[in-house]
Amino acid sequence: MLDLTGKVAFVAGAGSVADGWGNGKSTAVLMARQGAKVFGVDINPVALAGTTEVMEKEGHPHWAAQTCDMTSSEQVKAAVDACLAKFGRIDILVNNIGGSVPGDPVSLTEEAWDAQFDMNLKTAFLGCKHVLPVMERQFETDGRGGAIVNISSIAHMSHQVGGRVMVAYATAKAGLMAFSRSTAIAYVKKGIRVNTVVVGMIHTPLVEHRLAKQLGVSEQELVAKRNALIPMGRMGQAFDVANAVVYLASDEASYVTATQIVVDGGVTAAR
């Protein structure tokens, strides 16, 4: 089940903001455990080095990493070319990059609005722009196209997540859902599937590292508050997200496209 042997995965945002397991890092490692060759990119070389350390410790020989700003078309193209030079093909693209800043239309600066769209939406657009032609060529050559998984958030359908209003993040992640569905249908006859994982409150290092500072609360207070909001009584783990990504990228999901899996411990249904 969920064997990725023979597949090459390009994971964008394969690092983690701090020590521990972010969603992209756990996805990259789980894909390697499932037999894929994995090419990970991240804007932060230190974050990427953390993933390399795990790959080496676990003994995954087919791992390559490259620093890349996924908001730069030039850099994305260079990374895609490097992946092709190293592994010869790309079967899986994971667009994991994202992050939120709080604010409503008045309090958000124009620069912050644009930066949120660049980070949460343009990165996926550029990933697809440069990888779709590769997958399409593969489909024409050997009948094996590819699978793309984009990472959205329950923020796209919630007014507030954890008590924060964040209109730019919510709007960009909603846009990512529409982008995924439209792209899926545009490429459905070309052997390429496109799906989304809609992520709830996950206990990644981002919670302690970034959110607690943004909200001005203690780490323990924030963790307790987020746990209490969830019907299951706890935040998810990064591997809960990675498991869903691996399924959507695998051949077991070969009839699944233009849809999403919500990984949120029941939060959205309980609202």
Ligand X SMILES: NC(=O)c1ccc[n+]([C@@H]2O[C@H](COP(=O)([O-])OP(=O)(O)OC[C@H]3O[C@@H](n4cnc5c(N)ncnc54)[C@H](O)[C@@H]3O)[C@@H](O)[C@H]2O)c1
Q: Cβ distance 2 to 246 under 8 Å?
A: yes
Of 12, 244, 251, 245, which is closest to residue 145 (Cα–Cα)? 251
Using rule CB under 6 A, residue 13 touches ligand X: yes
Using CB under 6 A as the binding criterion, the count of chain residues that bind ligand X stands at 29
- Is 169 noted as a catalytic residue in this protein? yes
Instruction: Write the DSSP assignment of 215-269 as a string of letters.
Output: HT--HHHHHHHHHHTSTTSS-B-HHHHHHHHHHHHSGGGTT--S-EEEESTTHHH
Does 82 sit near ligand X (CB under 6 A)? no
Instruction: Report d(CA 115, CA 102) in Å as an integer.
Output: 13
Of the listed pieces 41-49, 78-86, 106-114, 216-224, which binds ligand X according to CB under 6 A?
41-49
Tell me the residue type at 160: Q
d(CA 79, CA 44): 14
Residues from 217 through 256 that contact ligand X (CB under 6 A):
none
Instruction: Work out how close the CB of 255 gets to ligand X at its nearest, in angstroms, rounded to a whole number.
Output: 26
The yes or no reply on residue 16 touching ligand X (CB under 6 A) is yes
Contacts (CB under 6 A) with ligand X, residues 137-156: 151, 153
Among 7, 8, 10, 24, binds ligand X (CB under 6 A): 24
* Block residue for tokens 């609005």: 113
DSSP strand pairing (92-95 vs 146-153): parallel
Output the residue with the shortest Cβ distance to ligand X: 98
Nearer to ligand X, 44 or 268 (CB): 44
- Told to check if 66 binds ligand X by CB under 6 A, we report no
Shortest distance, position 187 Cβ to ligand X, whole Å = 22
Tell me which of 169, 187, 247, 255 is the catalytic residue: 169
Give the chain's largest Cα–Cα span: 55
Residue 176 touching ligand X (CB under 6 A): no
149 touches 94 (CB < 8 A): yes
For the annotated catalytic residues, the residue numbers are 169
> Could you list the residues that contact ligand X (CB under 6 A)?
13, 15-17, 22-24, 42-44, 47, 68-71, 96-99, 119, 123, 151, 153, 199, 201-202, 204-206
